[in-house]
Amino acid sequence: MSAWDSLISKIRSDGHKTPDASRPATTDSDRNDAGTLIAAVEPFLDMDLTAFRAQLVDETTIARQQMLLKEQLGPADSAEFIERLIRAMAEIKADIHYLKAAYVGSTRYQEPEFQIRMPELPGKVVPEVLEIDMRGDITGRNWYHAEPDGRWAGPECDSSLLLPALGAGTYDLSIDIVDEITAGIIDGMQATLNKQPVALTRDGPDLPASLQARVTIPASYRFPFWTLKLEFAKLVSPASMGSDDSRVLAIRVRRIRFAKAAA
């Protein structure tokens, strides 16, 4: 016999008991029987009190807001009533706006914060000089094809190079520039190494030119590459000066060199 069949049999047997007029209205036995019956019935009941409670709270809140809105609007002529109604609707729209903004902010994608630890290689031999010949193969962006004496930067306003990392320490950086498409581009150029500003100095106003800087790589920098970035205030196309060359150019670089500074 299933639990449900047992429950039905118990209810039927209890329902056919002959009442005793001399018996008190409620006894401990009655309470025990009632508790037993409730315990037997309870597993078969679907009492979603959470949903009922939420519905009750919603209805109470709506009723309270309706009462407040009636008090806020109140008896008034048509012009004043419309003004009060507009104010009330504006408050509602403002509440909806902030609720939506809070929801969007809570669900917006957040960039993860990666904790990257590069392995330490104590036996690794690190060179003290790194030289990049811009007439050969390079790894970077915003550079034109190599020419016999260098490589033009362009057509965008920033060019970058990805370089194999040397060890931590202080280095002398030199950038040998063959030409600039128009005067002022070299002097207006900004440079960064691994996102840190680099203060470049020029050896003179003539071309070719050499730019010098001293840079420091901290021991905490563990990435296996360096990133050198050059930003230009302006670029010019030779086509604007009557040439058939439609490229947009900044400077033509021959060589970039890092050398460990003397202690």
Domain 129-260: state its class. Answer: mainly beta
Task: Specify the pLDDT at position 238.
Answer: 95
Helices 78-107 and 49-73: crossing angle in degrees, nearest 10, is: 140
What does the alpha-carbon distance between residue 151 and residue 133 come to, in Å, rounded to a whole number?
9
What does the alpha-carbon distance between residue 30 and residue 33 come to, in Å, rounded to a whole number?
5
Task: Specify the pLDDT at position 29.
Answer: 61
Task: Specify the pLDDT at position 20.
Answer: 53
Q: What is the mean pLDDT of each run of 10 residues along the chain (263 residues)?
A: 59 54 55 58 56 67 75 75 80 80 74 67 78 96 96 96 93 98 96 97 94 95 93 95 95 97 83
Task: Specify the pLDDT at position 118.
Answer: 62
Whether residue 194 contacts residue 217, with contact meaning beta carbons closer than 8 Å, is answered with yes
Torsion sign, CA atoms 120, 126, 129, 134: negative
Tell me the H-state helices in the chain.
3-15, 28-41, 49-73, 78-107
Nearest CA to 217 out of 251, 158, 259 is that of 259
Structure-block tokens of residue 105: 């902010």
**Which residue type occupies 117?**
R
Task: Specify the pLDDT at position 233.
Answer: 94
CA dihedral 188, 192, 198, 204 (to 10 degrees): -40
Task: Specify the pLDDT at position 261.
Answer: 93
Whole-prediction pTM: 0.55
Nearest CA to 260 out of 163, 167, 168, 170 is that of 170
| Domains of the chain by residue range | 129-260
Using a 10 angstrom Cβ sphere, with 0-12 exposed, 13-18 middle and 19 or more buried, the burial of residue 94 is exposed
Give the three-class secondary structure for 243: coil
Residues 6+ apart with CB under 8 A from 74: 84
What does the alpha-carbon distance between residue 224 and residue 1 come to, in Å, rounded to a whole number?
74
Task: Specify the pLDDT at position 159.
Answer: 97
Q: What is the largest CA-CA distance in the chain?
A: 125
Nearest CA to 57 out of 46, 49, 67, 69 is that of 49
CA distances from 57 to 67, 70, 88, 91, 131 (A): 15, 20, 22, 22, 73
